[in-house]
Amino acid sequence: MRILKEDCRGALPAPGRWRMPGEFEPHEGCLMIWPCRPGSWNYGAREAQEAFVRVAEAIGESERIYMLVSEAEREKASRALEGLIKSGRAVLLPIETDDAWARDVGPTVVVDAQGERAGIDWQFNAWGGDYDGLYREWSRDDAAAAAVCRALGLPVLEARPFVLEGGSIHSDGEGTLLVTEACLLSPGRNPSMTKAEIEETLKAWLGAKKVIWLPHGIYNDETNEHVDNVCAFVRPGEVVLAWTDDPSDPQHAMSQADLAVLEGERDAKGRPFIVHKLPIPSRPVCMTQKDVDGFVFEPGEDVREAGERLAASYVNFYISNGGIIFPQFGDPMDEEAARILGACFPERRPYPIDAMAIIKGGGNIHCITQQIPGQPRRM
């Protein structure tokens, strides 16, 4: 593993070299992590693993899957992904992690004008560390980004001690970043830094010229409201925003505030934003007692409760080279969300995925996937 000399620990990178691509740009593949943590995936993770396989199969139609897996789960993952592995569309990487949130613990891969790539290794502290982190031990998650870079032959940009998760940033590939104040200004991330200092750090590492600070994410999102659950780029200058017209829903005021920011801003190229309102499910997606009974929590781990509202959002989709992979919740709004996303991505095949097993783990399709930019491989 090579750490680039100009990017020493704690220092900012050489200005202007690196760029975080937009997720709609062609890319090499996708990083995922095989789920097995008993405190996240109930009843032995059986339904979660089935859902992860469905996501991997959809993504694998047009790009390669790199699946991190523990030694204990390797045989099970190999059987479940046998078809993808035999066809060369999936590769297992023997890397141990604490959970399965590839978006948040994997490297943020950036590119330069010559097409060279590097992986940014942010510090990870389980979404809040000792302040409000979701589990007590996260050292394997924290080491995952560097391990992935080593496995893929990518040099590392050492961004530590800056704390960041991949789901808390969204790029248009042309110099504009979306973030939320609720997450990036949380006391559990970088409490000694001002908002301006955090913004300058993001610009330096990700090649951004402008950061759009949305006030909120999705209601009751335990990540302190990651942006990838509330607002995402469809293409430069165009976003989808989680939305509800129900004034009694707590998400209503949060999305209204985000829309007000987007309507008053311009992107790094000076363009006003085209905003597509993407509805949230028509009824809250909540944890049942049966769901809760299937978890096994460790000491110090955030626990689930029956009746707990989950942060279900159709914005939490993945853009593959050939498709748009988006969640379905068994809700009447599923069909409308599919229609809107289909209109936003007419050139891509739609892959609706039953995501109930994933949302019960605390996340969604975007959370369990991380793009690996680079030249697309022949499938």
Which DSSP letter does residue 158 get?
A: E
What are residue 224's phi and psi, to 5 degrees? Answer: 65, 30
Q: How distant, in Å, are the alpha carbons of 142, 217, 256, 342, 368 from that of 245?
A: 39, 16, 10, 21, 29
Is residue 231 annotated as a catalytic residue, yes or no?
Answer: no
State how far the Cα of 256 lies from the Cα of 260, in Å rounded to an integer.
6
Asked if 317 and 324 touch (Cβ cutoff 8 Å), the reply is yes
| Beta bridge partners of residue 324, listed in sequence order | 319, 350
| Beta bridge partners of residue 323, listed in sequence order | 349
- How would DSSP label each residue in 334-355? HHHHHHHHHHH-TTSEEEEEE-
Conformational region of residue 237, where left means phi above 0, alpha means psi within -120 to 50, and beta covers everything else: left
Q: What are the residue numbers of the active site?
A: 367
